[in-house]
Amino acid sequence: MPPSEMSQGSRLRRFSRRHYVAAAAALFFGVTIWSAGPALAAANDAEARTIFEKFIAAQNAHNADNVKALLWNSPATLLFARGIETRGRDAVADRFKTYYAGTWHLEPDMSKFHVAVISNEVMQVLVPIVFTRGLPGKPPQQNTFLISQTYVQDANGWSVASIMPVANTELK
């Protein structure tokens, strides 16, 4: 029957059925996504740990190319350390190269590793790290910093978008 010949009641029933099906589908997807929340958080925690451990391994190997491969390929990539802002993937990798000329070793306290999932594409990591560092030919010193790293996910996967050491290492 053409719509013009349908009774008001049959149009309402058809309209209601469509809305019922749409509401049921929305409820199903909402419950599915909500129930996957803890699994998603656990997956992101594992991904964040993997990225972080690769980053630390590259740092301790003094491998600026591997560090660069983990950095977000964006002019917004940020390293803010020792009061100096360094932006861009290449510049951040080059800055790490200068650190590697002397003593440079990182020991994170993974028992205090924390991940905050900000969105499906952004995670924040906090972890205290003991830095053993020294200029070439100078005795090394140890200092502990709380490292904040932001990870972003794009078409290439997860990358380190920002790195900021904080002098206060107490997480409360």
pLDDT for position 27:
40
pLDDT score at 8: 52
For residue 149, tell me if it sits in a domain: yes
The reported pTM is 0.73
Q: How confident is the model at residue 5 (pLDDT cuts 50, 70, 90)?
A: low
pLDDT tens column, 85-125:
999 999 999 999 999 999 999 999 999 999 999 998 999 99
Mean pLDDT of 136-151: 94
| 99 assigned to some structural domain | yes
In percent, how much of the chain has pLDDT > 90? Answer: 67
CATH of the domain at 74: 3.10.450.50
Q: Are 87 and 76 in contact (CB under 8 A)?
A: yes
Residue 104 burial class via C-beta count within 10 angstroms: exposed 0-12, middle 13-18, buried 19 and up: middle
CB-based contact 138:156 (threshold 8 Å): no
Report the domain count for the chain: 1
Q: Quick check: 16 pLDDT over 70? A: no
| Boundaries of domain holding 114 | 42-166
The percentage of residues in the chain with a pLDDT greater than 70, rounded to a whole number, is: 72
Residue 7 lies in a domain: no
What is the pLDDT, as a whole number, of residue 167?
83
Q: Is residue 161 part of a domain?
A: yes
pLDDT at 33 over 50: no
CA–CA distance, 145 with 159 (Å, rounded to integer)? 21
Position 39 confidence tier, pLDDT thresholds 50, 70, 90: very low
Per-residue exposure over 64-101, b if at least 16 CB sit within 10 Å of its own CB, e if not: beebbebbbeeeebbbebeeeebebbeebbebbeebee
The answer to whether position 84 is within a domain reads yes
Residue 170: the pLDDT is: 64
pLDDT, tens digit (0-9, with 9 covering 90-100), for 54-94: 999 999 999 999 999 999 999 999 999 989 999 999 999 99
pLDDT band at 20 (very low <50, low <70, confident <90, very high): very low
Residue 171 domain flag: no
- Residue 130 domain flag: yes
35 within a domain of the structure (yes/no): no
